[in-house]
Amino acid sequence: MMTELEHDLRRLAPVSDPLPDVSEPAAAAQLLDVAYATLDSPLGRLLLATTPTGLARLAYLDYEGEDAVLEHLATTLSPRILAAPRRLDEPRRELDEYFAGARRSFEVPLDWRLTRGFARRVLQATAKIPFGATATYKQMAAEAGSPRASRAAGNALGSNPIPIVVPCHRILHSGGGLGGYTGGIERKRLLLGVEGYGGLKRPEAYSGLKQP
C-alpha cells in the first residue's frame, strides 16, 4: 500500500527516478511523522513503524495485513506516513540479533501513544520482564494497580501494539499454561523457545513484580 503522502511526493519526483527515496526530503520538510519498513523474520514478515519519539508499532503481516496496519497508523498517529527503511535500521538490527540469539534486551526507544490507561500500565510493566523470565496475568494486573483485573490484563496484552519488543509472550497462566497470543499461540511457543523456556521454569520466575 502506498500512502497518500508517498504517492504525492513520488508523483512530483523526476521521471528519471521512478522510485525515489522520498523519506529524507519529507522529513526535512516536516512532512514525515511515521516511518515504516518491513522485516522478514523466523515468525514471518513483520511491519515496524516509528515516530520521532520511538517505535510505535510491530505487526505480524500475515495476521493483520499491511493495508489494515497502515490505515490504522494513519488514523491514530498521523496520515503523514511513509515507507522509510533506513529510519528503521536500528530496530530491525536488534530484532535480527534477538532471533539469532545474540541479543537479550531491546534498546530502541518506544512510543506508547497507541496505548492508554490500564492497558498502558500493563504493557509498561511487561516491558520490564527480562529475557528468560516469565510472569502471570495476575502479576501484571497487580503491577498495573488492579490485582483482580486478570482478564483485563489479558485483553491489554492481546492488543499489544509492539509485540516481541514489549514481551507479552512472557506472560503465562498461574498454573504454567501458555494462555493466548496475538498472532497465534505457535508464535508464542517459538518466542519462548528462543529464550530457552522449555516448560521447566515457573511463571513466578520474575520476582520483580508485585505478587497478587
- Counting other chains too, the contacts that 1-8 makes at CB distance below 8 Å and 24 or more residues apart are 1/66, 1/67, 1/70, 1/71, 2/83, 3/70, 3/74, 3/79, 3/81, 3/82, 4/79, 5/31, 5/32, 5/79, 5/80, 5/81, 5/82, 6/81, 6/82, 6/83
Is 76 among the residues known to form the active site?
no
Continuous segment of H or E residues that includes residue 171:
strand 171-172
The C-alpha cell at 196 is 530457552
* Residue 49, helix vs strand vs coil: strand
- Which residue in the list 168, 172, 191, 192 is annotated as catalytic? 168
Catalytic positions, written as ranges:
168
